[in-house]
Amino acid sequence: MSFSVTAPSPRTKLISGLIVGLYALVTLAPLLWIIATGFKSGQDSIHYPPKVLFEPTMEGYVNLFTTRTRIPSDQPPKDTTSMTWYEEIVYKKGEIIAEPSKYGERFLNSTVIGFGSTALCMFLGTIAAYAFSRFKVPLKDDLLFFILSTRMMPPIAVAIPIFLMFKNLGLNDTYFGMIMLYTAVNLSLSVWLLKGFMDEIPVEYEEAALIDGYTRFEAFIKVVLPQAITGIASTAIFCLIFAWNEYAFAVLLTSGDAQTAPPFIPTIIGVSGKDWPAVAAGATLFLVPVMVFTVLLRKHLLRGITFGAIRK
C-alpha cells in the first residue's frame, strides 16, 4: 500500500468529493426511490410528474402482505373504531382483507434457499480449497481449471438441460433442488476465492499445531479456520448475493412451495393492475437480509487478522 506524502489540496478534496457524491447519487437514487414508493399511495406512485414529496401511507405494505376483495355495495357501513390499523386502511379503499398473501412464505423460501446454499457452499468450498492448497492432489491444475471452467458461461445458458434434469429427478419446486443448484453455481467461485485465502495462511501454523499434539483435522478447525475467517466471510457474501437475487432459474424451476421472492414480487397485482407501492414494499423488505448480512460481516472484510504474526 502506498500513501501520498503531502496533504491533499482543497481543490483535490473538492473534486474527489464531487466524484464520490455523483457516484453515490447514481447508485443510491433508484434505491431511495424504491423505498419511497413503498410508502406512497397507489395514485401517488403513478403520478405524473413524479412526486418527491407525498403523504406517507402503509398501504403498500398492507397490500403486500394481504389479498383483498371489494366490499359488496349492498353491505351496511361498518364501525372503523373496532378495526386494526391495517384493516382500516383497506376498508377506506372499499376493500376487506380476504387472507394473508404468499409474500411471507416466499420470503421464508428465499431465506432457506439463499442461506442454505451459502452454508453448503462454504462448507464444501472450504474443505476443497484447503485440500487444493495443502495437499498433493493428482491433476491439481487441471481440476482447478475444470472447476473454474463451469463459470465460463452464464449459468442460465444451461437452463434447458437443468430444467429437464430437475423434472425427471422430481427436483422441480423443492428446497433441495434449489439449494443444490445455487451451490453448484457458486462452488467454483468459492473454491477459487478460498484457495487464494488458504494459500496466504502460512503452513507453519498447522505444522506447529501438529507437533503440539493436534490431529490434522483439529489443526484445520482450530488454527486454519480462524485464520481463514476473513476469506470465508467475503466469499459467503458473494455466494449469498447471487443466491438471494437469482431470478431466471427461480422463475423457471419454482412456482409454488419453493418459489423464492424474486419471481413472486413482480406478480403482486392490485385491484387496478400493478400495485406499485406493494411491489416497492416487497423489494425494500427483500433488500434487508443481504444488507444486514453484509454489514455484519463487513468487519471481517476489513480486518487482516494475520497481520504481524509471521515475519516475511
- Does 185 bind another protein (CB under 8 A)? Our answer is no
**66/227 with CB nearer another protein:** 227
List the interface residues with another protein, window 277-306 (CB under 8 A).
305-306
**184/225 with CB nearer another protein:** 225
**87/200 with CB nearer another protein:** 200
How far apart are CB 140 and another protein at their closest, in Å?
Answer: 14
For residues 233 and 298, the answer to whether their CB atoms sit within 8 Å is no
| Stretch (H or E) spanning 236 | helix 225-245
Residues that bind another protein (rule: CB under 8 A) add up to a total of 24
How far apart are CB 312 and another protein at their closest, in Å?
Answer: 8
- Listed in sequence order, the residues at least 6 apart from 83 whose beta carbon sits closer than 8 Å to its beta carbon are 91
One-letter identity of residue 178: M
List the interface residues with another protein, window 194-233 (CB under 8 A).
202, 204-205, 207-215, 218, 223, 226-227
**228/279 with CB nearer another protein:** 228
How far apart are CB 239 and another protein at their closest, in Å?
Answer: 24
How far apart are CB 218 and another protein at their closest, in Å?
Answer: 8
Tell me the CB-side half-sphere exposure of residue 187, using CA atoms within 13 A: 18
**In terms of C-beta density within 10 A (0-12 exposed, 13-18 middle, 19 or more buried), how is residue 81 classed?**
exposed
Number of H helices, E strands in the chain: 14, 4
**128/223 with CB nearer another protein:** 223
How far apart are CB 309 and another protein at their closest, in Å?
Answer: 3
Furthest-apart CA atoms within the chain: distance in Å: 85
What sign does the dihedral 282-284-287-292 (CA atoms) show? Answer: negative
Partners of 273 in beta bridges: 270
How far apart are CB 127 and another protein at their closest, in Å?
Answer: 20
Quickly count: other Cβ atoms within 10 Å of residue 245's Cβ: 16
**70/222 with CB nearer another protein:** 222
Binding site residues, another protein, CB under 8 A = 202, 204-205, 207-215, 218, 223, 226-227, 305-312
